Structures are given as C-alpha cells and as structure tokens.
C-alpha cells in the first residue's frame, strides 16, 4: 500500500474528499518523512513549523516554494548570504494564488545562488552522491523525497526541466508569462518563467488549473496518437531517444526526426548573452554594494557581461525574436517536439548542477514544455524526456506529455 507521503496530489485530494484521509494526517505523514530524510536530502532553505491552509480546490496539497519567490511568513534569502534573514511583507503573486486555492506551504526550497549556477547543499534523493540539478534543486528533490506534493520552480535556462529529470519527477514550464512574476527575484526579464514540479502530469494539470483557472482537468484524454518531431537524438542521448521513439511508435504515434532551421540555432547561441546581460541589470545593487559576497563564478559571469557592449544585448534579443517567429513554421504538421530533458543521468557530486543543453532553446522560445520520467540510466538514476508545444498550447503540452508517459509505462 502506498504511504501517505508518496501519494500524488490528485490521489491525496481524492482520499480527503472520500473521507478516508484528513489534512492533519497528510501534514503529519509529510512531517515524518521530512524528519527522516531531510538531514541527507537538504531540500529546505526554511521549514514551516506549522503549515496551515484554508478551504479551496487544493486543500490538502502541500507546496514547496523555491527561495527566489517571496513569502510573507517565511524568510526569502535567494540562495545568497547577502539576503540572509530577509523577511518580505508579502507573498509572491503565485504563492498568494496557491494559498488562495487552499494549498499549504511546507517551506522554502533550496535554490542555487540567485537561481544561477552556484549550488546549495541539496542532494539527489535517489543517490545523495549526485546532484539534484538546479536551480530549482530543493523543489525537485522535495517532491521526489515525499516532502511536499508540488514545488514551485523557475527557469531561465533549464532550472525546472533538468532537475525534474535528474530527480525522476515531472516538471512543467508553462508558456512564458502564464504565472505572474510579482514577488520573484527576477534574473532575466526576457527568460524567467515560473513553473511547477510534481509527481505526475495530472498533478501539474491540477495545480495549473487551480492557479490560472484554465481547464487542465484531464490531460489523459488524447483524441488520437500524436505526430512527434524528434529533436536532439544524438550523442549520449541517442539510445534514450531511440528507445522513447520506438515506444511512442508502438503506441501508435508517428515520430519523425527533425532538424530545426539555422535561425532557431542562432537564437540558442544568443541565449547566454541575454541571460547574463539581463542578470547584470537584475543584480545591479548586489554587484555594486556586496560584490565580495557573490560567488566567484557569478562575479566573473557578471563582470564579463557588464563589459560587453550594449549593442550585443540588442542583437541577442533580436535573434530571440527571429527564432520565436520561426518556430511555428518549423514544426508545422507536428503536434509536439520530443527531445531529451538532460544530457543523461544526474552527474556525480553536488558542486555543480549539470548543463541545460536541451532546455535553453525552449525557454527562449517561450514555449510550454514538460519533462516526464523515462526510465533509468546505467547508474540506476532517473532519465527524462521533454515534450514541447507552441506558445499558448499549454493544455496540449500536458496532454501529449501524459500520452508519452503512458507510452513509456
């Protein structure tokens, strides 16, 4: 029998509504799991000692909030000593929306430094000698470990989808701008997107529906098998993607390898410049007044970006716009793109969080994308595969993500 702490949000709500489970029993089960595993996993930047909730569609669902999103009742420290002990007066908009829907906030989950490269202390719940990925490290690890049902994450390059893959959970990055960024420590105005990590696609649909009011109630109902564009099935990911493609074909999908046009590749090459040069702007106060408290890797990155001519940012943004405009035609005739979530299993060590090789493109294109578990690699650690749809097609992304997940089951 599945332990209470391992139930999905959807399963938890069904039991509460059926009278076989209570909010208090869920809270106690999650607290016991945290007490047993948090000393090793280290998913929390701050643990709420008494999470409570009001009535609503998410009553009984517990969230972890990435520590770049403000909370009125818990510190927001952004993964940096500069902000140690900082207590905002208000919740971030998405956190307030979750509370308004009846969710309980279990705590603040660990982020890398300002959601960039320098990692926190979180370990992978599947093997603590490996990274959980980043920058939404604590949210991914906390969901995987059974500490909370849903984790808020943010993505500038690959910060939702890569840790989801490494930790064996589902990560959903909606269309850019779907969840409001009020109360978020933003790093890149052109890129930063708030999303969620969960134990199932159905949980992602549940949470997004409750937060936005959109109808994502049943992602498991697909009208037919999809036509999928296979992108990135090369090198270390070739075996995984060919296995995934074969499973999808066996379930009735048409899968066709696709090479994206040069204009989209040019957008990807521009991504680091937009990300880094906008981060200089976002961290202007910290870089000016507390530079010695930034990690060496972030100081170097910001100094390099600050020295670049302003025209480079304008050129990089223009490359973004061109890629965004070209993408719909590039995948015309396909329902979704099928691509790796990460270069492989979670790397050993927790002093780096892996590379966003297969994520940055979709972030800059502002498309919805979802990572679903795709078995294990040679070290016994989780693998993931991404499903990507055009901007605004979030419901379709969830639906085809669930279709692929079932094809792989």
Q: What is the pLDDT of residue 233?
A: 85
Please tell me the distance from the alpha carbon of residue 59 to that of residue 23, in angstroms, as a whole number: 8
Dihedral sign of CA atoms 182, 53, 33, 13 in order = negative
Domains and CATH numbers, the chain: 8-212 (3.90.1300.10)
- Return all residues near 108 (Cβ < 8 A) that are at least 6 apart: 44, 45, 46, 64, 65, 66, 67, 71, 74, 75, 76, 77, 138
- pLDDT digits over 94-104, tens only? 999 999 999 99
- pLDDT digits over 258-315, tens only? 999 999 999 999 999 999 999 999 999 999 999 999 999 999 999 999 999 999 999 9
Number of H helices, E strands in the chain: 13, 11
Q: For residues 90 and 184, is the Cβ–Cβ distance under 8 A?
A: no
Q: Which residues are identified as catalytic?
A: 66, 135, 159
- pLDDT digits over 201-238, tens only? 999 999 999 999 987 767 888 999 999 999 998 888 99
| DSSP helix, strand, coil percent of the chain (3-state; round to 5) | 40, 15, 40
Classify residue 197 as exposed, middle or buried by CB count within 10 Å of its CB (0-12, 13-18, 19+): buried
Please tell me the distance from the alpha carbon of residue 130 to that of residue 141, in angstroms, as a whole number: 11
Q: What is the pLDDT of residue 234?
A: 84
Do you find a cis peptide bond into 101, omega within 30 degrees of 0? no
- pLDDT digits over 131-159, tens only? 999 999 999 999 999 999 999 999 999 99
- pLDDT digits over 18-77, tens only? 999 999 999 999 999 999 999 999 999 999 999 999 999 999 999 999 999 999 999 999
Mean pLDDT over 166-191 rounds to 99
């Amino acid at each position: 029998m599945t332990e209470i702490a391992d139930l999905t949000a959807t399963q938890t709500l069904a039991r509460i509504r059926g009278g076989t489970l209570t909010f208090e029993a869920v809270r106690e089960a999650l607290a016991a799991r945290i007490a047993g595993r948090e000393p090793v996993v280290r998913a929390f930047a701050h643990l709420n000692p008494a999470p409570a909730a009001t009535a609503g569609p998410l009553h009984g669902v517990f969230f972890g909030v990435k520590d770049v999103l403000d909370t009125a009742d818990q510190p927001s420290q952004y993964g940096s000593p500069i902000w140690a002990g900082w207590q905002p007066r208000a919740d971030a908009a998405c956190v307030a929306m979750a509370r308004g829907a009846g969710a309980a906030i279990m705590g603040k989950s660990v982020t890398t430094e300002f959601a960039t490269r320098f990692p926190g202390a979180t370990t992978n719940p599947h093997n603590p000698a490996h990274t959980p990925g980043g920058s939404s490290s604590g949210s991914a690890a906390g969901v995987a470990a059974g500490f909370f049902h849903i984790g808020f994450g943010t993505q500038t390059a690959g910060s939702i989808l890569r840790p989801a893959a490494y930790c064996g959970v589902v990560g959903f990055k909606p269309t850019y701008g779907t969840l409001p960024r009020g109360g978020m420590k933003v790093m890149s105005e052109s890129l930063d997107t708030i999303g969620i990590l969960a134990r199932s696609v159905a949980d992602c649909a549940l949470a997004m529906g409750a937060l936005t009011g959109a109808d994502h109630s049943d992602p498991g109902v697909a009208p037919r098998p999809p036509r999928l564009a296979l992108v990135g099935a090369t090198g270390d990911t070739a075996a995984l993607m060919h296995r995934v493609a074969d499973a999808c074909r066996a379930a009735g999908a048409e899968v066709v390898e696709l090479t994206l046009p040069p204009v989209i590749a040019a957008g990807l090459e521009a991504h680091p410049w937009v990300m880094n040069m906008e981060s200089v702007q976002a961290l202007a106060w910290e870089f000016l007044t507390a530079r010695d408290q930034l990690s060496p890797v972030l100081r170097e990155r910001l100094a390099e970006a600050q020295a670049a001519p302003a025209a480079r940012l304008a050129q990089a943004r223009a490359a973004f716009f061109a890629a965004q405009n070209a993408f719909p035609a590039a995948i015309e005739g396909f329902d979704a793109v099928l691509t790796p979530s990460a270069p492989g299993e979670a790397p050993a060590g927790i002093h780096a969080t892996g590379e966003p090789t297969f994520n940055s493109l979709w972030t800059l294109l502002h498309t919805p994308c979802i990572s679903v578990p795709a078995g294990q690699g040679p070290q016994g650690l989780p693998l993931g595969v991404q499903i990507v749809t055009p901007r605004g097609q979030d419901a379709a992304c969830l639906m085809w993500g669930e279709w692929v997940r079932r094809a792989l089951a």
